[in-house]
A and B are shown apart, each in its own frame.
Chain A
Amino acid sequence: MNTIVDILASAGLWAAVLRIATPLILGTLGAVLSERSGVLNLGIEGIMTFGAMVGWLAVFNGADLWTGLFVAALGGAVFGALHAVLTVTLGLSQHVSGLGVTLFASSFAYYVFRLMVPVSGSPPTIEPFQPIDIPGLSDLPFIGPAFFTQTAPTYLAIALALLLAYVLAKTPLGLAVRMAGENPHAAEAQGVNPMVMRYGAVIAGSALMGVGGAFLTLSAFNSFFPTMVQGRGWICIALVVFATWRPERALFGALLFAFFDGFQLRLQTALDGAVPYQIFLMIPYILSIAALAVMARRARVPQALMQPYRRGER
């Protein structure tokens, strides 16, 4: 019992929560945007992998960190465009196309990485984002180290969540995207081209996923290795359901999820091998499944999610 209290009272836990949450926030936002327009993007796992690789590679080759993030966004957008061609223009199964994009994006990422970075004993590293000291706030006891010693992309992710929540709920563009995901025929009838909305949402969403992946290599760690995304993309897809397709709840869901993850990491250390570490590592995936089971029937799914739209076909 004391162990648990100690963990909860450590500023390190709360700092870790924000750090763990960042790629999940970005990935979930990307998936929310895409799904709100009616397109499930299971390319997310591969797109995050590619973003992690290409962002890191850019920085490794001398670009600055922000350029690295931008390159990751661009890379994500390219694979998003591929997914959009397959699912929006051709109207193919969003499940299978997404898996195809994941397999392609991740294997392509490994291929490029191996090609550009020769095998060596220890993986090459870059200088990652450093925590930002916010004058005044960072010096507060407990609160400071817990919440105000993050790297810049973490603050960016939180800001993006609020921005996306505003855009979807309060702007004509957001309404047009939602209409494309609820009833593309209605959108078309009112002069909004649902195909354009879906393309835009899938591509922009994939860019966010790419940035989410790049956070891993440019901030959380400093190197790239295959399989490092570790199913975070799939967890994001589950978080979308948990968040009932709302960006502000996605932010909350990702933080809640990261809290459990950060907590188990520390508990694992505290218990020191009394319980196999694999049990702790399973927790995020099991939590995701549990979240799906709880929320699947309650949520108001976008009505046209996974339904291809072809003009003139009902």
Chain B
Amino acid sequence: MRETVLEISGVSKRFGDTLANDDISLTLGKGEVVALLGENGAGKTTLMSILFGHYVPDTGSVAVNGEVLAPGKPRAAIRAGVGMVHQHFSLAPNLTVLENVMTGTESLFSLASDTKSARRKLADIAERFGLAVNPDARVGDLSVGEQQRVEILKALYNDAKILVLDEPTAVLTGPEAEKLFVTLKEMAAQGLSLIFISHKLDEVMAAADRVVVLRGGRQVAERKASETSKAELAELMVGRKVERPVREPATPGPVVLEAVGITVRVDGVDRLKSVDFTLHAGEVLGIIGVSGNGQATLAALLSGTVKRASGDLVLFGRGVGDLTVAEAISEGIGRVPEDRNGEGAIGEMAIWENAVLERISDYSRHGLVQRGAAINFASQIIEAFDVRGGTPTSRTRLLSGGNMQKLILGRNLIEHPKILLAAQPARGLDEGAVAAVHERILEARRAGTAVLLISEDLDEVMALADRIQAIVGGRLSPPVAAENANTQMLGLMMAGEWTENADAV
């Protein structure tokens, strides 16, 4: 029996009408790695925020080494030796690594920072766990992997004995993630205790000693990793078994879109480097990759919001130069952006306004908005795409993520686009909504729409795409046929390992 270092008992937390955590209890032993498994919205992050003192629980308590922590006090958690590695790193890009690490570690009343001993301590830790990084580098200049190292170093610098990692592999490539898990195991071996939050079954099975499954705010199961299987965990995590649709075989139609050697420069950086791809009517082309590798720019290229530096975009056999948004829409390109709230919809505007904004010239005459026709259009979308939780005149912000996505998909698909750009279309949605979105995409494919699917979810791409290309550092791999692809091969492609013209299809 391991010595218990952390005990969460009976924690509940309610936000408005939703019960984010419902009477959750959890223990962690010294040197143990526990995975907290659950879908988006299962309550994982809320639970960890309570542990770390960001939120005050409605009931229940957190005890470290038998001592109950004062609720809602991050400092108490830090003092007790709890360190948190956030999914979106809590780093200041303008400050140096050393400054990021040192914040809050010294008395605010001391007259000078002791950078000399801080530097020494940081170097010691870095060496002990193999986490080398230049202490004087500006954090904003570091790669994502290095930034995560800084985030971990920060926790260790505060003498953390318990480390909580929130979706640590979300931004890493396959090899980087594998390296991370080696580091984590080394830490556990040296007596640290770890909790990591994840929804990826592979890494849970690979790295954890014990798995705690959350669903809908409740703790539904606890298993030893050695005594369970991926299939069992999947079912526990999802609860009811939702069948995701899978594409049926089809013969693709003619080429509708061709990109030839396109380079796009944004703020002086080449975000796309001489990329080539072709898109056929009635097929789904999947673009996989770890986020931040040029996906956003690729999507912007087809959305009409960036200009090319070189290369040609050929649409229906004609070179089109730089697309503008208006041209993209009039040429029949439907656009589902990655960032629903930032780009896809304007939350404070009415649903009907978001429905027609991108084709406002169709709904205006002499410069005046044809409100009746626009509201009618919005009603049709709501009806046909099963958008729940709003009327055409209610504010868009009130829709749930899934319903907002249905609205965005709907305003594009109702016009039967020839091409559909879908960037991370199912990200952050619950399982039911994911299935609905996938079904819509496949429906469009059946109807002859050419779909460009940009995603970092391998399961999604393998279920929907006919052909797959990987995007790494702004470059596109040659396409592979989905039938010939497997997870391992795609993982290598996402890490940038492919041979040019290998088995192009």
Contacts and interface: CB of A to CB of B under 8 A. Distances in A.
Real complex partners, A and B?
Answer: yes
A311 interface: yes
Given A191-B74, A312-B54, A172 B94 contact: no
For the residues of B in contact with A, the DSSP-based class is loop
A186 B100 contact: yes
Given A175-B99, A191-B78, A192-B103, A183 B92 contact: yes
Nearest to A197: B108
Nearest to B91: A186
Contact of A189 (B90, B93, B105, B111): B90
B106 A172 contact: yes
Interface size for chain A: under 10, 10 to 19, 20 to 34, or 35 or more residues? 20 to 34
B75 A183 contact: no
B179 interface: no
A172 B113 contact: yes
Nearest to A179: B103
Interface in B82-108: 84, 86, 88, 90-95, 99-100, 102-108
Interface string A180-222: 0011011111111000000000000000000000000000000
Most buried by B among A176, A183, A300: A183
Given A170-B112, A171-B111, A172-B107, A186 B90 contact: yes
A178 interface: yes
B445 interface: no
Contacts of B291: none
A302 interface: yes
Given A189-B84, A190-B105, A190-B158, A183 B90 contact: yes
Contacts of B108: 172-173, 176, 192
A185 B49 CA distance: 12
A178 B95 contact: yes
Chain A contact residues: over half helix, strand or loop, or mixed? helix
A172 B110 contact: yes
B88 A171 contact: no
Name the residue among A172, A178, A302 with the largest chain B CB count within 10 angstroms: A172
Nearest to A185: B90
A298 interface: no
B41 to A, nearest CB: 15
B116 to A, nearest CB: 12
Interface in B146-174: 154, 158
A314 B49 CA distance: 13
A110 B99 CA distance: 45
Nearest to A196: B108
A171 B54 contact: no
A187 B90 CA distance: 8
Interface in A265-292: none
B55 interface: yes
A305 B55 CA distance: 24
A190 B112 contact: no
Contacts of B102: 172, 175
Contacts of A188: 54, 74
Contacts of B94: 182, 300, 302-303
Contacts, number: 80
Contacts of A189: 52, 54, 74, 84, 86, 90
Contacts of B113: 170-172, 175
A207 B158 CA distance: 35
Contact of A311 (B54, B105, B110): B54
Given A178-B95, A186-B91, A187-B103, A173 B109 contact: yes
A183 B106 CA distance: 18
A195 to B, nearest CB: 13
A87 to B, nearest CB: 20
A171 to B, nearest CB: 6
A171 B110 CA distance: 7
A241 B329 CA distance: 41
A204 to B, nearest CB: 14
B110 to A, nearest CB: 6
A205 B84 CA distance: 33
A14 to B, nearest CB: 34
A310 to B, nearest CB: 12
Contacts of B52: 189
A295 to B, nearest CB: 16
A312 B48 CA distance: 12
B80 to A, nearest CB: 11
A242 B106 CA distance: 32
B469 to A, nearest CB: 32
Interface string B434-448: 000000000000000
The 7 closest A-B pairs by CB, nearest first: A182-B92, A190-B104, A186-B90, A191-B75, A172-B106, A192-B104, A183-B92
16 contacts: A171-B110, A172-B102, A173-B108, A175-B102, A179-B92, A179-B99, A182-B92, A182-B94, A186-B100, A188-B54, A189-B54, A190-B103, A192-B104, A303-B92, A303-B93, A311-B54
Interface of B: 49, 52, 54-55, 74-75, 78, 84, 86, 88, 90-95, 99-100, 102-113, 154, 158
Given A178-B92, A192-B104, 12 more contacts: A171-B111, A175-B103, A175-B113, A179-B95, A182-B93, A183-B90, A183-B91, A183-B92, A185-B86, A188-B74, A189-B74, A190-B104
Interface of A: 170-173, 175-176, 178-179, 182-183, 185-192, 300, 302-303, 311-312, 314
